[in-house]
Chains A and B, each alone.
Chain A
């Protein structure tokens, strides 16, 4: 079974530039998450989708971050404009849903460096 795919693996941009990350979840997984992990901290949930609807985006900085999930499958996360403090690893994860308590599976992440 293929895992969660993310690209790119690494990205370096200057502040005020824009950047986009892509995620392809495990086939059949209705729930998709985007997390931000700053060095030395735990992953922080940015946004959670169920199919193509947003379940939780309470911690997404909506003035600069946006995300969409096309047709309930792939997802993109965009930052525009980037700030220095956005330097982090961006993790995508997916899980089954339907009222089950089940684990989420993570991709390898995208390491973003803003200079």
Chain B
């Protein structure tokens, strides 16, 4: 039973354009959400997070939006750069700091 879903396995975006990655979750009690980025042969690295008391959090080119009523969050990357090509995982923290991941979306930025 997948509690965190990323329905797009892959996404291809032109350099300089906006990349939008989406994530849906099932439990309205989740209160903290994170995005991780993963390059091949490396562990995931933390990118940005958002608490359920907010609907937007911004860090440079990265912005995460949270829509609690729809149980949906998205990551926007503007402008997209070739180094952004990676697999992006959405994750939630539930209970006692339990970290649960989605399936991931492979983002490819084309020059």
Report which A residues bind B (CB closer than 8 A): 4, 31, 33, 35, 40-45, 48, 50, 55-56, 91, 93, 95, 97, 101-109
Most chain-A CB neighbours within 10 Å: which of B32, B101, B103?
B101
Min C-beta distance of A108 to chain B, whole Å? 5
Report which B residues bind A (CB closer than 8 A): 4, 6, 9, 31-32, 34, 36, 41-46, 49, 51, 89, 93, 95-104
Asked if A43 and B101 make an inter-chain contact with CB atoms under 8 angstroms apart, the answer reads yes
Which residue from B45, B89, B93 sits with its C-beta under 8 Å from A43? Answer: B89
- Known: A42-B104, A108-B42. Is A33-B99 also a contact (CB below 8 A)? yes
- Give 22 pairs: A residue, B residue, CB < 8 Å, sorted on A: A42-B4, A42-B104, A43-B101, A44-B101, A45-B100, A48-B96, A50-B96, A95-B97, A97-B97, A101-B31, A101-B32, A101-B97, A103-B34, A103-B46, A104-B99, A106-B43, A106-B45, A107-B43, A108-B41, A108-B42, A108-B43, A109-B43
Asked if A106 and B51 make an inter-chain contact with CB atoms under 8 angstroms apart, the answer reads no
Closest 7 pairs (CB-CB, A-B): A106-B43, A42-B101, A101-B32, A103-B46, A42-B103, A43-B101, A106-B44
